[in-house]
Amino acid sequence: MKNKTIFKTVIALLILLVFFFAQGAVVVVNHLEGTVSALIRGSIIWLLVIGTLLYYAVRYKSISVLGFRSTNLGSSKKLLFYIPLLVIAFSHFVAGFAADLSIGLFTANLFLTLSIGMAEETYFRGIICRIWVEKGKVKAVVISSMLFGICHLMNIAGGAGLLTTLLQICFAVIYGFVFALIFIRSGSLIQCILLHALHDMCSFISAEGSTTMNVFLGAAQTVILVMYFIYLMKDIRDYEE
């Protein structure tokens, strides 16, 4: 049974990585930027999302098995209405909006970030975390979150620098823990997708601050995220009891 779980995890990762590598490689090889880049990347990822949902809809007669359902009663209050994640997302605007932001670029980035949120949450939480829950909630959270962080190495294919990517991996691991805990507690993937997309969207369309500002902002975001993670861990333990 454990080997079957590992096999399913590996297959899910390979499928996801192929599409994410492709969307990053296409824009780099063709030197695409801005609106066109976002639309091309989003289109490739949406193909993955649609294909995955169709597969589950046909095989299981429903996509609710992935977490596309309403939240457990009272879970939003227990999860503090996700306020810490909203604060982190909107904190990107401390330096304002990107100077080159237009309606077209905004729409293209929305198209892209929704695809990323859908794909990553479906695969890391809806598939990987879910299939490991039978082995224990802690194991499911740790495995899905670590894989989520490590897979951000694919950002290099999109042109990101090594140091930036390594920092993103560390932040993504913590974010992965938080999203996995939210998914397990709420029983729904929908809010994870929306919060994930919102975070990426705010990051994409915000202005680039000074180095000092970015350091302080990153530190503040990390502190908030870690505190929220600690709270969620306590809530999960109480929930299990």
Q: Which of 86, 91, 84, 97 is nearest to 213 (CA)?
A: 91
Residue 239 is predicted with a pLDDT of: 54
Task: Give strand pairing partners of 97.
Answer: 206
What is the rounded distance in angstroms from the CA atom of residue 12 to the CA atom of residue 8? 6
Residue 28 is predicted with a pLDDT of: 87
Please list, in sequence order, all residues whose beta carbon lies within 8 angstroms of the beta carbon of residue 23, skipping any fewer than 6 positions away.
Answer: 40, 41, 44, 45, 158
Residue 155 is predicted with a pLDDT of: 67
Residue 215 is predicted with a pLDDT of: 84
Please list, in sequence order, all residues whose beta carbon lies within 8 angstroms of the beta carbon of residue 166, skipping any fewer than 6 positions away.
Answer: none
Query: Is pTM, for the whole model, over 0.85?
Result: yes
pLDDT in tens, 4-45: 999 999 999 999 999 998 998 899 899 999 999 999 999 999
Residue 24 is predicted with a pLDDT of: 85
Given CA atoms 79, 82, 84, 85 in this order, what sign does their dihedral have? Answer: positive
Buried b (16+ CB within 10 A) or exposed e, 129-152: bbbbeeeebeebbbbbbebbbebb
Tokens 């007669």 locate to 61
**pLDDT below 70 — which residues of the chain?**
1, 154-161, 235-241
